[in-house]
Amino acid sequence: MNWLETAQRTLKEQSLAGWLIYDFRGSNPLAAKFLDFGDSFLSRRIFAFVPADGTPVILVSVLEAGSLRAEGFEVRAYTGRASLEAQLSDMLPAGPVAMEISPKGDIPYLSTVDAGTAEFVAGLLESKGGSLVSSAHLLQAFAAWSPEQIASHKRAATATMDVLEEAWVFLRDQTSAGQEVRETDVQNVIADGFTQRGLIFGHGAIVGFGPNGGDPHYVPREGADRALQPGDPVLIDLFARFPGEGDPYGDVTWMGVYGDPTPEFMQVWELVRDARKVGVRTLREAVDEGRWPEGCEVDRAVRSFLTDAGYGEAFVHRTGHSLGSKHTHGDAVHLDDFETHDTRLVTPGIGVTIEPGVYLPAFGVRSELNVVMTESGPEVTTGEQEDLVRIPLGPHHS
């Protein structure tokens, strides 16, 4: 099934009259995923309309209509502004039409149509009794991974867990030998482990000792990183994928401690671990109820758990993100009702992280696993950390 067939089937399922894809000199990155312009240089506005039924139509400037390749579309041309308005009005139906907009910017990842164009199109639709709506739910039909992508993600997740174990072994070996261990040392071990397995990654792993783990996106830098100290919590967040086109990431965060944990750290660790379980359980319960969960509802459940425990203010990011292939963070639904209000559904074939965190001046705790939604419910594709990784004190610190 090609993308047009998928779009028209989904439009009918969602009771939409059509989907209007707009682009102006690359202003809508999503357009390039669906419209193949070949070598054509398009310097004017372009509108591609996919109706729920019938032949798709693409509207371009008369200057560029002759060189355009648009398989599956009827090509129409406009001249000036009045012609554009008349032609576009003729294309549009009297019903709800989706575009890449997000009311109030609630889902900014797909809000790529500028306000003026959205206002222009909305006016044309209203004059015909139609309405302009977000394409957020429509685009989810294209976000699901193929069976091959799911298999690649699972291999990447397994390899990521293997490299993670190598990092803990390195920490134990170095400390037991009385050697100093710095954050970048662990980061380099992880990079080498990925390279040896043929995986790629956008940037180095996050490795935070002690208070550095309290910075959610901490970046250790050689010469300015921390050496491991007795009692330090250890946060390791690592992520990689295989290099094939569309191969998705595996992405996990694990927690350890050098020596004995403080009572406060132990309490926060157990809360964050249990909050992560709330996230998986929320996904599973929704499916058991016969529905696909919204990303925002998972975040609300996890955030409420940590808020009730007194740590809501220290949970400063969303609960999870979709997993991508070009980047660790994908374009599908995120588990978020904090940074954004993501009402998109977690449907079969969608891969997400669940990674609640609590960040304090003395330490940070984050616990992350990966989930792929299946027809029967969420499948965890990575390990699920139950207990802290313990690193015994070395001879100089015991």
Each residue of 228-254: pLDDT tens digit?
Answer: 999 999 999 999 999 999 999 999 999
Instruction: Give the SS3 label for residue 234.
Output: strand
Q: Which helix (H) or strand (E) holds 163?
A: helix 147-176
| pLDDT value at 129 more than 80 | yes
182 token code pair: 């710095």
Averaged confidence pLDDT in the chain: 94
| pLDDT value at 1 more than 80 | no
Torsion of the alpha carbons at 8, 132, 344 and 350, rounded to the nearest 10: 30
pLDDT digits (tens, 9 = 90+) for 72-113: 889 999 999 999 999 999 999 999 999 999 998 899 988 999
Q: Which residues contact 370 (CB under 8 A, 6 or more apart)?
A: 153, 157, 250, 251, 252, 323, 351, 352, 353, 354, 380, 381, 382
- Reported in sequence order, the residue ranges of 91-174 that DSSP labels E, i.e. its strands, are 96-99, 131-134
112 token code pair: 């790529």
Q: Which residues contact 247 (CB under 8 A, 6 or more apart)?
A: 149, 152, 153, 156, 241, 325
Do the beta carbons of residue 325 and residue 246 sit within 8 Å?
yes
Structural domains in the chain plus CATH codes: 3-142 (3.40.350.10), 147-391 (3.90.230.10)
Helix H segments across 294-334? 295-308
Residue 32: the pLDDT is 77
- Reported in sequence order, the residue ranges of 114-179 that DSSP labels E, i.e. its strands, are 131-134
**First-to-last CA distance in the chain?**
64
Give the distance from CA 119 to its chain's centroid: 29
Entry pTM = 0.93
Angle separating helix axes 295-308 and 263-288, nearest 10 degrees: 150
